[in-house]
Structure 1
């Protein structure tokens, strides 16, 4: 199915560290900075080369992870499985992500979030996801033809689908599912690598590894 015209994709923006478009999130960040003066506590930029063929899209910065360190999935529980698996599948130079100066490099991979600011209770509103879409749209537009977008969780999946101008009903979320996007790119779905999902074994390390292997295989086939 051809995508519908998307106002979001036409109004993309690289990043704005001073963004206050969402009053609730801006207020929560101010409160967080007051409680944790050493934390980054600002909108978190994407990490990795802009022209990477694999774009990993999470939900939002974790309070004591990316919100503290200023780098996606760095210093929190969800990042343990993500960066270990990226290393295991050849997308990074090391398996750990503890702090921004730890020497981590991503290979042909970029990591971002659907929402760039820490949301209360880790639950952004629909309007907050929509407000942040211009930043996600920028990263999506930069993902090359034949590339892969890996959505971690339903909210990230739906944010990508909306940014691309497709209808959600035509792109149902399911772990391990593949969806064709514009410019020969593929959207892959995975359950989010959160503490809750891994501890309840809704998502296992083997399941997540299989999804990243699928991404690697698709990229290899596209390059051949």
Structure 2
């Protein structure tokens, strides 16, 4: 599902990634842990095509059989929209839109028929226990509800892989536990691959594999 070799990232003279190799199978739930500054979020952003490795010529990144480094910017944006879902620590919902509208935005970008997008959005919100929240704006939702809306948004285009960056970092312990269980329920129901950057040891230990980053490298691939 994801194959990466020799990923390096420089910010000026600072080398954040120092040659990361990574292989993740379809349907795996993989956690990535490590101290702040180890390179976890930088790696996730490169895997999600939100950023580029500094050494394209002598590195490799394939996602679901596509060599993403060979795509131009427009092709990469289309690929990202169709194949990758993102869940962030802060839900990043647009405050002026309802829960359903927020969920449907990636589908609208994909130019899915609005009726079909809304049907799929409602199915996901129902699945996530938010059937009564279609028309509520983010300010009218609890933190846990907002994050579940963000999960539905990540799933709307049936992506191959979900990338999550500290997804429960902004939640209370009860909401975090619900979200953690939800990831594994989603894997069972929809077969998605999950890559989760987290400081939450409980979530990290639940994963099929826990990878540790130290100083820009994965030390237990």
What is the TM-score of this pair, normalised by structure 2? 0.34
Which structure has the highest strand share of the two? Answer: 2
TM-score by length of 1: 0.34
State the structure with more CA Rg: 2
